[in-house]
Amino acid sequence: MKEIKINTDSRNYPVLVGTNILSENNLKEFSNKEILLVIDSKIEESVKKEVQITLSNISLKYSELTIEASEENKSSKTLSIIHDLLIEKSYSRDCILFALGGGIICDMTGFAAATFLRGVDFVLIPSTLLSQVDASVGGKTAINHPKGKNMIGAFHQPSKVITDTKLLKSLEKVQIREGLAEIIKHALIKDEAFFKWLEENIEDLIEGNDVKLLEAIYKSIEIKAEVVSQDETEQGIRKWLNFGHTFGHAIEVYGNYKRFSHGEAVALGMIMATNLSQKILNLGKKEIDKIKQLIYSILSEELLKSEFQPNDLVRLMSADKKKKGDSLNFILLSSIGEAQILSDIQESDIIESIKLT
Ligand code: GLY
């Protein structure tokens, strides 16, 4: 087992990364606490039992709540269900919320913790590759509003994150590919050597090779940890983590959140952001080919045949930024491992970049 330290202005905390690490030993600081465990309904039975037994054994008071993870359920209604339970059972400010699940459960449990009694502690046990390398690190917590994803939220860092690759065993291949999109993103914005390693090992990673996945997760969290430790509330460098996301969010809306998963949309968005990087920052042809080759390898042929009306995608991008009171920024690459934040990009350049070749 390895430990990565996240040191933000508001809190320092460890991310434990390993296989078979959900033992009492790694949870002993939560003994004699009031615990609420929020469980993703898709969690495999044996993992669920293990966590349930450990937490109920060590706690002073224990309750649990199972939630079906969907964007629709990442709502104020579900948030109220969590808060109602805490209030009905007289949980105090000293309680700890645990999330056992994917990104939706991690984000929502974090926001419930941020808002209950003006903020209580929480611990994340992310269960998907995507949540292990992304949602569980960084302290952005949120629920959706009918007008947009993650519109209601807070920065609230967890007390601890336990990233156990044993939980990945039950994932489908498509979920592994989704997580790989964010892993590739981390390499592209900050670490050329890691990008090379990914090129060499991508087939094993897609196949779910335990040892290689563990290494990729560790390296990826290390990169995200370094970025969020420098810029907890996204005033500058943390924006780099949005590489591929300006296009990606618009792609998700374009497909009504059904046609493309988050990871797929980010992967497609990274191809477009790479095209824009060529136009704006003269990213070299050789590097572009390598980036696209790696991204193509995690996408299905069907996805790569997706077509977009460029004007519609640009409209969706602008609408999303307007709703959030942001300007339209793009994270672009000057080379592999070197990112920059750019604004004031001409619409014609954005439109030209909207292609998957
Ligand atoms: N919770 C995800 C992040 O902070 O980026």
Domain boundary (141, 168, 195) is at 168
CATH number, position 144 = 3.40.50.1970
Instruction: Let me know whether 151 and 178 are in one domain.
Output: no
Q: How many residues does the chain have?
A: 357
Phi, psi of 173 (to 5 degrees): -55, -40
Instruction: Please tell me the distance from the alpha carbon of residue 21 to that of residue 42, in angstroms, as a whole number.
Output: 20
Mean predicted confidence (pLDDT) in 19-34: 95
Mean predicted confidence (pLDDT) in 207-235: 97
Pocket of ligand 1 (CB under 6 A): 135, 138-140
Would you say residue 236 has pLDDT above 90?
yes
Q: Taking CA 301 as the corner, what is the angle to CA 296 and CA 307, rounded to the nearest 5 degrees?
A: 90
Minimum mean pLDDT among 177-186, 188-197, 319-328: which range? 319-328
Q: What confidence score (pLDDT) does residue 147 get?
A: 86
If you measure from the C-alpha of residue 163 to the centroid of ligand 1, how many angstroms do you get, rounded to a whole number? 15
Neighbours of 152 (CB within 10 A): 16
Domain boundary (135, 168, 201) is at 168
Mean predicted confidence (pLDDT) in 256-272: 96
Per-residue model confidence as pLDDT tens digits over 292-304:
999 999 999 999 9
Per-residue model confidence as pLDDT tens digits over 79-130:
999 999 999 999 999 999 999 999 999 999 999 999 999 999 999 999 999 9
140 is catalytic: yes
Question: Which of 137, 230, 262 for mutating ligand 1's site (highest number of atoms within 8 Å of CB)?
Answer: 137
Q: What confidence score (pLDDT) does residue 327 get?
A: 76
What is the average pLDDT value for the chain, to the nearest integer?
96
* pTM of the shown model: 0.96
Counting the structural domains of the chain, the total is 2
| CA 107 to ligand 1: nearest atom | 1
Q: Which of 33, 219, 238, 239 is catalytic?
A: 238
Confidence category of residue 319, pLDDT binned at 50, 70, 90? confident
Would you say residue 239 has pLDDT above 80?
yes
Q: Taking CA 177 as the corner, what is the angle to CA 215 and CA 15, rounded to the nearest 5 degrees?
A: 40
Amino acid in position 245? H
Q: For residue 117, what are the domain limits? A: 2-168
